[in-house]
């Protein structure tokens, strides 16, 4: 099983990265799920593990899949056939699903500011954090006037402290040292 995972991972990652780039993650997930199911079929599995030429195998597989595969999906099948990897399509599909699940996660971010943030500031902060964290962001905003100015952003074990209070504390520590 771990050998299949090792073989499938680069193909799944490449397919996922391509799908994200083309903004077609759902379409690719659908194609890979279907192709994985075809590859798991007993008769097809015997064909995939047999001694059939790569071009012939790719043609047979794409004909069986029909319109379920677009041109890019057919190219993936051809590459897999050339590398004798069509039998790992179910594992590629599973790994693609895992990459998608990771990609779709939403992260909660605790934001503490010296003054209340208006809607425009919250939207700008959320967009910036989404880009940095590569996740959908849900903001939990709090106000703490002791910060003087700036923000403290916490998510998981990541803390971004841009408050004036912490800058003054660091300056005081540097002056005392």
Cβ(163)–Cβ(149) below 8 Å: yes
Q: Tally Cβ neighbours within 10 Å of residue 136.
A: 13
Which structural domain, as residue segments, surrounds residue 131?
106-176
Q: Examine the fold and report which residue of 102, 131, 155 is the final residue of a domain before the chain moves on.
A: 102
Q: Is the predicted pLDDT of residue 125 greater than 90, yes or no?
A: yes
How many Å apart are CA 34 and CA 13, to the nearest integer?
18
Residue 51: the pLDDT is 74
Number of domains in the chain: 2
Phi/psi at 129 (nearest 5 deg)?
A: -70, -35
Q: Are residues 121 and 165 in the same domain?
A: yes
pLDDT digits (tens, 9 = 90+) for 67-107: 888 888 888 888 888 888 888 889 999 999 888 877 877 77
């Amino acid at each position: 099983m771990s050998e299949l995972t090792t073989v499938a991972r680069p193909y799944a990652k490449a397919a996922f990265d391509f799908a994200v780039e083309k903004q077609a993650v759902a379409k690719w997930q659908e194609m890979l799920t279907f192709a994985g199911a075809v590859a798991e079929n007993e008769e097809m599995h015997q064909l995939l593990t047999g001694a059939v030429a790569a071009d012939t195998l790719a043609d047979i597989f794409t004909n069986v899949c029909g319109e379920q595969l677009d041109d890019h999906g057919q190219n993936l099948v051809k590459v897999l056939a050339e590398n004798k990897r069509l039998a790992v399509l179910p594992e590629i599909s599973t790994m693609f699903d895992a990459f998608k699940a990771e990609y779709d996660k939403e992260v909660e971010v605790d934001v503490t500011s010296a003054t209340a943030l208006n809607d425009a500031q919250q939207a700008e902060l959320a967009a910036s954090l989404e880009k940095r964290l590569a996740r959908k962001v849900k903001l939990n905003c709090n106000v703490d006037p002791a910060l003087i100015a700036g923000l403290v952003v916490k998510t998981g074990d990541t803390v971004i402290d841009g408050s004036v209070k912490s800058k003054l504390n660091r300056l005081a520590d540097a002056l005392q040292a």
